[in-house]
Structure 1
Amino acid sequence: MTNNTAALQTKANPQQLEAILATDGPVLIIAGPGSGKTFTLVERIVYLITQKDIAPESLFVVTFTDKAARELTTRISNRLVELSIKFNLNDMYLGTFHSICLRLLEDFREFTRLKRSFTLFDQFDQQYFLYQHIKDFRELPDAKLVIGNDQSGRWAQSESLLKWLNKVAEEALDLPTLEAAPDIEVRVLATCFRKYQELLHEHNSLDFSGIQYEALQLLEKRPEVLAHLREKFSYLMVDEYQDTNTIQERILLLLAGERCNLCVVGDDDQGLYRFRGATIRNILEFPALFDEGQCKRATLTVNYRSHPDIIRFYNEWMREQTWDDGTRVFRFAKQIVPREDDFPDMPTAVRLAASDGKGETTNWHAEVLAFLNGLKASGKLSDWNQVAFLFRSVKNDKVVALARFLESEGVPVFSPRSNMFFEREEIRLMIGALIFLFPQFPKVRAWTEGVHLDIWDYYDQLCFKPFTDELRKPENKSLLDWARPLAKHHAVLTQNTDYAFSGLFYQLLQFPLFSCFLSEEAVQGVDKGRAARNLGTFSKLLTKFEYLHFVSVLNPEWLEKNIRDLFNQFLRFLVDGGIGEYEDESEYAPKGCVSFLTIHQSKGLEFPVVVCGSLEAVPRKQHTALDELLEDAGYLSKPRFEPRNHIKNFDFWRLFYTAFSRAQNLLVLAAQERQGRGLGKSPSRYFEHLFYELPSWRTVDLSALTFEAVKQINLKREYSFTSHINVFESCAEQYRFFKELEFNPIRAGAQLFGTLVHQTIEDIHKAVLRGEEATVNPEQIQSWMTINYQYLSKRERQYLAPQTLKAVEQHILGYYEREKGNWDRIKEAEVEISLVKDQYILKGSVDLIRGEHDTVEVIDFKSEKKPDMEKDRERLRQYQHQLEVYAHLVEERTGQKVGRMHLYYTGEDGGNPYVSFTKDDRAIGKTIARFDDIVERIERQDYQIVARPAKLCQSCDMRAYCDNKNWKFRKDP
């Protein structure tokens, strides 16, 4: 027995140890709630690295959410640093399925349909793209069978189309088979998908579900890529396997190959994502993919989270359901047991109930408040964030009404997905202000005789009126004096302005009506600066609108159309679709607030007190007639697994099992009681039996309980040199807005000139590294540059004058002419590197590593003329510090000695384009210590600056806000 195994035995229980040591071949780990799943995964990875000599970069580790990926990254990096194991985090394939597949597409882009600078759509982008092109689909024969009738409207049609296109992608359905189908609905679906792929190709775009579809195409159609990846990845691990879909299983099995060192972890009882294409069969049938006895299985059943009475309750809940159809069983048999500990001998699964008269909620609201006050009065609750309310949906009117009631009674509520973004005061006032600035608004909205959109009532009553009411107040006189003449100007606009809607937004932030939401005090308040972050989100929406509708300035010819598109379409659809508010990944339960979350949101989390609502719910069908047709006619890659008439019940039980098992110390089932039958009854018949067997919370001595503090995740944040360290050093206030509060700068596009130079030089390096240096010549370089410019300018909606393009070409060809004799010295290009520190992860990207034997040089390209060595001394010193750390990281990662570091100025046409530095090991420690200080300031939200950086201010979107801020120092003249 090794020392490491002996140490493991003291930390891991026998079930966990079995899972950690089962390394080779297929492994299935069934991990019940609170059973130490993440600990087991982390220790299994550490065991592979330390005991099996597996290089960290040959591991492929997939998690379900970005938050889970960050937690896993933090815990793995902490353990490896603790064990003094050298590794480069950037070389590890660790993340969500989508992030890893996207990385594969970027690494092997030349083997895919994607071109340089492709656009990645989120779900709203995708639906809005379909909405803008719905005419192309309407023109397809029999399209209404998939998108619905024209009477339903373009937005509803795009929503329906979105669902079916994603279904084809996520199920990896075979397009030729669909096109040859006898069923007309299926053939139409294939035609729509083909048209959609053409549009994506034309616009060099990729949507979220298409990431995996394209990755599968890459692996299936490019055997050389698959062979390379199989060689690279020794071991694959997948978390939350019960929520994987067909395409993900196919990708994993392809990558695993014949070695099949594939470990999947999950809990079939917590499968929640069928509506996104997930299939529970992946985990239930996993052992059957292999020869009898080949798949090792470990089951983690010791719950380290919950009081035994809570565990008893949810075990009983699962026993209420029949999990077989007489021939097959659709659940792994398991009995969750509590950890060995001293627990208070009392019931900790209780009910909270109140009945009301018809249409009233008075008693119900009062009872919920009484319970919360009872918790507070017990003296055992230290913070409201120890309490989480879980619902099927937080957008439900009754849930929103309860949240508003509690807030009115002094109980703050954190409910980021309750669709309240457009109800927030700061958003309504901002929309009202934009309406005020365009007096033609009433005219442009009356677009069709007799048509009335509900959104107009929202604009009139909740946005425009409150804003004009504010304008009448003396404290807003400066705003009125600014806005009134501007509105008159817009009403009779005769020539282009030098701003668009987003420019007006940033101007409005200078006035107290909006700047009050942005102060340091407001941002550090109990709601985590929700208002400031909402305004940051609104800035993104405006810049996205301007991008999608080609609006760069206000143009008198197009102004009325732009206003109509913004208010009648873009914002209207966002209001209807709902938009989430800010969520802090590292603090899922903000201090000072009770949480209102969906059950899906709560997955993977735990709370001392869980109040589970939505007990009026009943099982409901989630599939349509077209789903059934695709399934029954054999178009899916596998036949149906669970009996169709059982599916809604299975999913219902799994959903509430997940909710009940989030509770640590107290589980409360809460129902606003209503008698009756069917959908009107609460609790519904599915809960009634267990609900009334529970004691009332009023009979339980809450002071006898101990409530844990909410678990601190302590995620390490990632900081890059250029995007974080340099920005903060240049202007901490700018960092606060654009990095911390996530405002979107108007000029967010790439600096086209520099990016074009970088991309084309990268093409040269990549060709050399592929062994194709013989193809690198001026004609080929010109071709690369033309293609790069074509896609980059199309994405950024920015264009360069002919003489500027000629200058770009001169930069690149100048580099080629100088360096073409040194191609054999190129080692690596565009190298992502990282340094894992105790409190954070420092990331950077090295443009080029070249050298001979064991000595290398680090090069960073600058697409400008060489600076004056004296005048720009400070900036050059900053670059030197950056290169020093890059050099240090390269040595740590490769073991090669870095001799020199260079800045290469591509715009230098006469003399030496290099500015070179000798690596100084003594200076590196000081540089990293300085970075530590900067990160420490960022993390404690210290954004004080001594003086405004005048050069930066000239082009900063926040300058009007800063001009009017009460600075603690003299303003610049």
Structure 2
Amino acid sequence: MTEKNTEDLGYATKANSKQQEAIFSTDGPLLIIAGPGSGKTFTLVERIVYLIKSKGVTPESLFVVTFTDKAARELTTRISNRLNDLDIKFNLNEMYLGTFHSICLRILEDFREFTRLKRNFTMFDQFDQQYFLYQRINEFRSVPDAQLVMGDDYTGRWKQSEQLLKWINKVGEEALDPVQLEIAPDVEVRALAACYHKYQELLHENNCLDFSGIQYEALQLMEKHPEVLAELRKKFSYLMVDEYQDTNTIQERILLLLANDHQNLCVVGDDDQGLYRFRGATIRNILEFPYLFPPGTCKQVTLSINYRSHPDIIRFYNEWMQAQEWTDGTKQFRYSKTIAPREEEFPHVPTVVRLSAADEQDGNAKWHAEILNFLHALKNTKDLEDWNQIAFLFRSVKNSKVVALARFLESQGVPVYSPRSNMFFEREEIRLMIGALIFLFPQFPRVRQWDANVTLDVWNYYDHNCFQAFVNELRKPENKRLLDWARPLAKNHIVLAQNADYAFSGLFYQLLQFPLFSRYLSDEALQGVDKGRAARNLATFSKLITKFEYLHYVSVFNPTYLEKNLRDLFNQFLRFLMDGGIGEYEDEAEYAPKGCVSFLTIHQSKGLEFPVVVCGSLEAVPRKQHTALDELLEDGGYLSKPRFEPLEHIKHFDFRRLFYTAFSRPQNLLVLAAQERKGRGKSPSKYFENFFYALPAWRNPAFDLSQLSFEVIKEINLKREYSFTSHITLFENCAEQYRFFKELEFAPIRVSPMLFGTLVHQTIEDIHKTILRGEEHAISTDVIRSWFSANYAMLSKKERVYLAPSSLQAALQHILRYYERENGHWDRIKEAEVEISLVKDQYILKGSVDLIRGEYNTVEIVDFKSEKKPDMEKDRERLSQYQHQLEVYAHLVEERTGQKVSKMHLYYTGEDSGNPYVTFTKDNHAISKTIAQFDEIVARIERQDYQLAARPAKLCQNCDMRAYCDNKNWKFRQTNT
């Protein structure tokens, strides 16, 4: 460590010697093994700051990969805060910072013309992907020997789609060669190749891209197009990857391609916390990393000082890992290390204890009572300030015993935060909403049973948990208005003779007006201990309903298809969701909500810390995760590398890593909890037994809770992103609308997408991008027409909205007119469709500029409007709003590029005779005023101030929440008269 380096960073007292070594080692390959609580994120942040401050690295040359979107946001926030402290101007938007998937998607969008992807492709999440397979399962059943991959038909469509999803994703994540699979001697492998081929056909036909396919397409892009790879290599000077132990084969190949000759590749991780094998991750990536480079060139730094936990906790999990044999005699499957505590005075009291109770005949009473007693004993110490300082960790939170414990604690006044416990469809608000939808269709019992021989388990849930619960509520006097509204509507639905002007989503929004549902949306409910869980669950339901309508082509109720719509919704879509499970709302900025104990999976807890951790699931034993098909793929040499860990050891290695992750989460107290049981399903299992009974019981007089002090949960100050059109304008127009559609995330019904304007914008963008590639000579009116046709075909297919021939012709004229006017002046174009952002003290300001053009040292920004030029007097208010938008864009462009903006233009493509421009001269004073106003609005949003001075009547006419607001105002008037 040199004196100069210490001065550069200005925090020599904050970083220990190993952290400093990692921070200043910037050139060549670097492996950082970061044990639990060792300051990994701090080290990453300071390494990036050092590259920027002392090495003069430009933002676009940094490639930083995190494991989750939340981690990316936290890293962005911490880097920006650090740069602000050092008064360094740096545009983080230019960094390629995010998950592998988000960065690969950004690269695909930058170079889309080199890929198979067409514009307006549909991006699948895991649910979309599996439901896509579920809907088309018969096409896969017809593939020869497909049952060897996805199971026999009697296992059911959902199970088959789940298996199919797993194997199709494995081909993508492992970058297996489909051609090699097709000619395999093993029939199972050939069947997998055929299923994968069928799936790819369907994706191409529907212009879709799935989650695992993002990385595969990015790899293909780099391997098949050397000019693209060369450009990316030139762009990225420094690459950093967090949680490297959870990367897969395809991710390693992408990194090695990008690192190229400079090899400035830094990977950070902990081989002891490799948990994601089931997603294709391989621990070999981190264990073999040094051997990817010439001997002696890869520097290795181990961060082994734990700043999180009491020494007794550290001792315990060190012993847990040392109890496993990590070699097969030829290879090591773990980096040898011992985690050490920080130098500090700690209370001399055991901080790893056991909690147990035995129930007879599988009852839970004693077990539940013991847990409750322990929680109250903690609370009575006076040092525990909030339930959120306690986390329960389990192998699965969907387990019936775990769910029963959560319900018991809530019944005893201990709120539980458990968003992944599959309790979505048990929640009262969801059961009542489904019950209401059933009530509105009296034909439901008849139409749901399409086959007299079929009985679905879900019908019992519909009848008793949903429909009956709703009917019981309707009998109450306070719900008379709801009954008076619902009864005639139900009668109309049973004899529907012509198209309605609504579908299921329309009924959903109508139902929110009545107190049975509006009570969940009140300010009191949203401020409650569960942070408005019911409101957010209803918002999730709105997204599910609108997704159903999109996937099943339902725009309005049609008499011909109504019965089919009902069958599809209740027998297929909702049933699929119930089988698969739906998670409840999780706040990224608050992983441990105040007032609640957390029930989390061990996977979910990774990267988190809690003062008190209660680790359950001690009945667990190592379990085999590989199948016969896995063995065939490995033994047949279809994987890109031969097998690494011996198959017989994998389950034991993964078992140790899983519980090591759990044991290393607590700061002050670790509790091993077991509902003791002998015989089959023994608890604790033999793998925990010796550790468990060697610990003092929490009731042992030698263990004094009052000797312990408990940390408070750290706040994660994640900066939120705000844009002018999506946030500021929406909030200014109607704060209530913002609350529903942005804050609570209700899904608006897509009544009339802006197809015309999008089509015009996209085709003008094609013109600009071609010019920026230096291919102006390739543009002609015929080429523009072909772009226009291709854009319309893909856009209309995706949006399922179509333009009349006259509208289509008018849109084309907008584009051709622009081309004719501007042809010959293309040399002024600098950039097109520019996504820009600025990290401010409290938030991230974002915008999208249609066109930047200019000469000499100034630039002009242009925003396209696909309409006729407005009347300058009559539309003064709207033009003023557009001017503010352009002022924000001007501010972003100047901050991002350092170039001065001289003018700002609105360009009206619909203007057929006069001047299509409305021009504003840039005024720094006006811009400052606009940005200050922006800051003020963001501050209102952040403090959740959604008060309205008056309802915006024009907006209300087409707002999905109109009925709710009408009723809210009606109640307000009734109360005040």
Shorter-chain TM-score: what band? over 0.9
Partners of 1:749 and 1:796 within 8 A in 2: no
SS in 2 for 1:965: helix
Q: Residue 602 of structure 1 corresponds to which residue in structure 2?
A: 605
**Deviation, structure 1 residue 314:** 0.5
Mean Cα deviation higher: 608-617 or 885-894: 885-894
When normalised by structure 1's length, the TM-score is: 0.99
Mean Cα deviation higher: 334-343 or 748-757: 748-757
Q: Residue 30 of structure 2 corresponds to which residue in structure 1?
A: 27
Q: Residue 660 of structure 2 corresponds to which residue in structure 1?
A: 657
**Deviation, structure 1 residue 641:** 0.4
Q: Residue 511 of structure 1 corresponds to which residue in structure 2?
A: 514
Residues 251-270 of structure 1 show CA distances to partners (whole Å, capped at 9, x for unaligned) of 00001111111000000000
Partners of 1:947 and 1:969 within 8 A in 2: no
Q: How does 1:491-640 map to 2 (within 5 A)?
A: 491-640=494-643
Q: Residue 677 of structure 2 corresponds to which residue in structure 1?
A: 674
- Out of 281, 300, 303, the position equivalent to 2:303 is 300
Residue 732 in structure 1 maps to residue 740 in structure 2: no
Residue 821 in structure 1 maps to residue 824 in structure 2: yes
**Deviation, structure 1 residue 192:** 1.1
Q: Residue 684 of structure 1 corresponds to which residue in structure 2?
A: 685
Q: How does 1:862-941 map to 2 (within 5 A)?
A: 862-941=865-944
SS in 2 for 1:11: coil
Partners of 1:8 and 1:17 within 8 A in 2: no
Residue 779 in structure 1 maps to residue 782 in structure 2: yes
Distance 1:932 1:232, change over 3 A: same
SS in 1 for 2:301: strand
**Deviation, structure 1 residue 967:** 6.5
Amino acid of the residue matched to residue 390 of structure 2? V
Amino acid of the residue matched to residue 696 of structure 2? P
Residues 486-538 of structure 1 show CA distances to partners (whole Å, capped at 9, x for unaligned) of 00000011111000010000000011100000112111111010000000000
Q: Give the gaps of 5 or more residues in structure 2.
A: none
Partners of 2:724 and 2:888 within 8 A in 1: no
How far apart, CA to CA, are the structure 1 residues paired with 2:459 and 2:376? 41
Q: Residue 255 of structure 1 corresponds to which residue in structure 2?
A: 258
Q: How does 1:326-345 map to 2 (within 5 A)?
A: 326-345=329-348
Amino acid of the residue matched to residue 187 of structure 1? R
Distance 1:955 1:6, change over 3 A: closer
Mean Cα deviation higher: 959-968 or 88-97: 959-968
**Deviation, structure 1 residue 893:** 1.9
**Deviation, structure 1 residue 969:** 8.2
- Out of 236, 250, 258, the position equivalent to 2:239 is 236
- Out of 473, 484, 495, the position equivalent to 1:481 is 484
Distance 1:748 1:253, change over 3 A: farther
Mean Cα deviation higher: 219-228 or 906-915: 906-915
**Deviation, structure 1 residue 871:** 2.0
**Deviation, structure 1 residue 168:** 0.3
Residue 353 in structure 1 maps to residue 356 in structure 2: yes
Residue 46 in structure 1 maps to residue 49 in structure 2: yes
Q: Residue 444 of structure 1 corresponds to which residue in structure 2?
A: 447
- Out of 167, 170, 173, the position equivalent to 1:167 is 170
Q: Residue 752 of structure 1 corresponds to which residue in structure 2?
A: 755
**Deviation, structure 1 residue 749:** 6.8
Partners of 2:772 and 2:829 within 8 A in 1: yes
Partners of 2:543 and 2:747 within 8 A in 1: yes
Partners of 1:848 and 1:860 within 8 A in 2: yes
Q: Residue 466 of structure 2 corresponds to which residue in structure 1?
A: 463
The percent of aligned pairs where both chains have the same amino acid is: 78
Residues 722-772 of structure 1 show CA distances to partners (whole Å, capped at 9, x for unaligned) of 111111011000000000111000117741111111101100100000011
Residues 273-332 of structure 1 show CA distances to partners (whole Å, capped at 9, x for unaligned) of 001110000000000111111100000001000011110111111111111111111100
Residues 144-171 of structure 1 show CA distances to partners (whole Å, capped at 9, x for unaligned) of 2212222222222222111110010000
How far apart, CA to CA, are the structure 1 residues paired with 2:319 and 2:158? 45
Distance 1:252 1:433, change over 3 A: same
How far apart, CA to CA, are the structure 1 residues paired with 2:840 and 2:657? 40
SS in 1 for 2:678: coil
**Deviation, structure 1 residue 184:** 1.2
Distance 1:402 1:834, change over 3 A: same
**Deviation, structure 1 residue 197:** 0.7
Partners of 1:29 and 1:300 within 8 A in 2: yes
Q: Residue 837 of structure 1 corresponds to which residue in structure 2?
A: 840
Residues 559-609 of structure 1 show CA distances to partners (whole Å, capped at 9, x for unaligned) of 101100100000001011100000000000000000000000000000000
Q: Residue 715 of structure 2 corresponds to which residue in structure 1?
A: 712
Q: Residue 323 of structure 1 corresponds to which residue in structure 2?
A: 326
How far apart, CA to CA, are the structure 1 residues paired with 2:333 and 2:965? 61
How far apart, CA to CA, are the structure 2 residues paired with 1:538 and 1:7? 50
What stretches of structure 1 move > 3 A for 4+ residues in a row?
3-6, 966-971
Q: Residue 363 of structure 1 corresponds to which residue in structure 2?
A: 366
**Deviation, structure 1 residue 6:** 6.1
How far apart, CA to CA, are the structure 1 residues paired with 2:222 and 2:883? 41
**Deviation, structure 1 residue 60:** 0.1
Partners of 2:9 and 2:50 within 8 A in 1: no
Amino acid of the residue matched to residue 897 of structure 2? T
How far apart, CA to CA, are the structure 1 residues paired with 2:358 and 2:580? 33
Q: Residue 765 of structure 1 corresponds to which residue in structure 2?
A: 768
Q: Residue 205 of structure 1 corresponds to which residue in structure 2?
A: 208
When normalised by structure 2's length, the TM-score is: 0.98
**Deviation, structure 1 residue 135:** 2.0
**Deviation, structure 1 residue 928:** 1.2
Residue 433 in structure 1 maps to residue 423 in structure 2: no
Residue 78 in structure 1 maps to residue 86 in structure 2: no
Mean Cα deviation higher: 564-573 or 804-813: 804-813
- Out of 405, 424, 428, the position equivalent to 2:427 is 424
Mean Cα deviation higher: 803-812 or 462-471: 803-812
C-alpha RMSD over aligned residues:
1.2
- Out of 957, 960, 963, the position equivalent to 2:963 is 960
SS in 2 for 1:321: coil
Distance 1:495 1:6, change over 3 A: closer
How far apart, CA to CA, are the structure 2 residues paired with 1:133 and 1:354? 49
How far apart, CA to CA, are the structure 1 residues paired with 2:209 and 2:17? 45
Partners of 1:86 and 1:893 within 8 A in 2: no
Amino acid of the residue matched to residue 960 of structure 2? D
How far apart, CA to CA, are the structure 1 residues paired with 2:182 and 2:704? 66
How far apart, CA to CA, are the structure 2 residues paired with 1:200 and 1:690? 51
How far apart, CA to CA, are the structure 2 residues paired with 1:571 and 1:808? 40
SS in 2 for 1:955: coil
Q: Residue 723 of structure 1 corresponds to which residue in structure 2?
A: 726
How far apart, CA to CA, are the structure 1 residues paired with 2:419 and 2:813? 51
Mean Cα deviation higher: 654-663 or 444-453: 444-453
Q: Give the gaps of 5 or more residues in structure 1.
A: none
Mean Cα deviation higher: 240-249 or 691-700: 691-700
Residue 61 in structure 1 maps to residue 87 in structure 2: no
Mean Cα deviation higher: 741-750 or 452-461: 741-750
How far apart, CA to CA, are the structure 2 residues paired with 1:968 and 1:923? 42
Q: Residue 91 of structure 2 corresponds to which residue in structure 1?
A: 88
**Deviation, structure 1 residue 968:** 9.4
